[in-house]
Structure 1
Amino acid sequence: MKAAVIVFPGSNCDRDLAVAFRAAGMDVTMVWHKDTGLPDGIDLVGIPGGFSFGDYLRCGAIAARSPICRAVVDHAHAGGYVLGICNGFQVLTETGLLPGALMRNAGLRFICKTTPLEVVTDQSDFTAGYGVGDTLNIPIAHHDGNYTAGADVLAKLSDEDRIAFRYRDNPNGSVGDIAGVLSSNRRVLGLMPHPERAAEDAQGSADGAAMFRALAGALADA
């Protein structure tokens, strides 16, 4: 089971994500944004949180044009797994791998707290370790986490069971309380909350650990 964690200037959760992957039994390689290809045999790509390129344009827009993102898109189109967290979710929407966009929080303030999430679907290798309706306590830390999409996209996401998580208290104004969405082949997940910051009891919650264990199990069985 081989995972790659992409590192951009301004990434600040890359090590956290690598630690969570390794704890689940994955062999992890850190990959710099200027690299043009992923290491051989990569099963899963993680795009971590942070403030890539300082978020000086639309969040994730510059990162999505980095050389490595062409390889990430190719990896996803070939059926590979991709997990984008916080800024990584923003990057995935900017590359077109996931629909919608992340806008400024409704309150126009940075939010950093643990928030309850509802598991909406267990029909993905990311969420198979949970039950539908489960409540997870997962940290958030973002200024631009307000998920938005057109009515047609929202209807498609709902009809295809591609909404992975919803906020129970909607801290940022996201349409439909959406906290995370899946790609059409269910192998790309983007979410604003940070499961890698809730992967062991010492962090105050271990509710995110089941995501990494489920992913590792799926990769081992592939």
Structure 2
Amino acid sequence: MKIGVITFPGTLDDQDAARAVRYAGAEAVALWHGDADLKSVDAVVVPGGFSYGDYLRAGAIARFAPVMGLVIDAAKNGMPVLGICNGFQILCEAGLLPGALVRNAGLHFVCRDQRIRVENATTAWTGRYEFGNEFVVPVKNMDGRYVADKSTVDELEWDGRVVFRYAAGNPNGSVRDIAGICSKNGRVVGLMPHPEHAVDELTGPSAAGLGLFTSVLDALAVR
């Protein structure tokens, strides 16, 4: 399996995401923001960082990068896509996920290890988990507060599209402690915490984040 990892100007976590892909047993394929093709990848990770310096709004410019047009089309055709932190912001800006990520409630950059709870273990990226699993991964964001109008949030809750929720404290004021959500078909997932920084017990607060990257390989194997 080949999983593409996109690099934009200002991306910080592409190499970490590529390492997580390799740890999971897949081939990590580097994708550049100006690429005109997806290089026959089976899935895509949109990693964290500060794409285009977060000018205008976090993710607002990256959404128009040439490679994102291809990702949007591929996602609409069922390709699994994972957006992490700035990648989550980009997926929301691109319309692949509802809502938006705005300035943290405390108006401060937050960087800490954070416990999250699995709310949906049926997406393409969470099949290795069970509902209610809790694990610790890092968070590091300034614009990490997930917001949406009440009807949208109610719909996400009703449809089981809240994938991860913050446990043991909400680091950024996200509505209803939402840490991650998914598309209607469960193939596109965005989350603010960083599972790619929790794939090795030696270097992360846990290795539980690896489950996202192994889960998608399972999903691809039965497509």
TM-score (norm 1): 0.97
For residue 52 of structure 1, what is the aligned residue in structure 2? 51
1:220 is displaced (CA, Å) by: 2.4
What is the RMSD computed on CA atoms of the aligned residues? 0.9
SS at match of 1:201: coil
1:69-88 per-position Cα deviation (integer Å, ceiling 9, x unaligned): 10000010111000000000
After the TM superposition, which parts of structure 1 deviate over 4 Å for at least 4 consecutive aligned residues? none
The letter for the 1-side match of 2:50 is F
Cα distance in 1 for partners of 2:219, 2:120 equals 16
What pairs with 1:105-144 in structure 2 (closer than 5 Å)?
A: 105-144=104-143
- 2:39 maps to 39
Counterpart of 1:113 in structure 2: which amino acid?
R
Alpha-carbon deviations, 1:5-60, whole Å to 9, x = none? 110000010000011011111112111101122112x2111000000011121100
State the identity %. Answer: 48
Q: Does 1:211 align with 2:223?
A: no
Count, aligned residues: 221
- Whichever residue aligns with residue 39 of structure 1, its letter is K
* Structure 1 residues without counterparts, runs of 5 or longer: none
Q: CA deviation at 1:204?
A: 2.7
Letter in 1 for 2:212: M
3-state SS, counterpart of residue 141 of structure 1: strand
**1:30 counterpart SS class:** strand
Between stretches 116-125 and 10-19, larger displacement belongs to 116-125
Q: Cα offset for 1:159?
A: 1.1
Counterpart-to-counterpart distance in 1, 2:219 and 2:55: 37
Aligned to 1:192: 192
Task: Please say which of residues 93-102 and 129-138 is displaced more in the overlay.
Answer: 129-138
Instruction: Give the C-alpha shift of residue 221 in structure 1.
Output: 2.9
2:163 counterpart of 1:164:
yes
Equivalent residue letter for 1:191:
L
Amino acid paired to 1:29? V
Matches of 2:57 and 2:117, distance apart in 1: 28
Task: Tell me which residue corresponds to 1:14.
Answer: 14
AA matched with 2:70? A
| Unaligned ranges ≥5, structure 2 | none
Deviation at 1:158, TM superposition (A): 0.9
22-31 vs 109-118, greater mean Cα deviation = 22-31
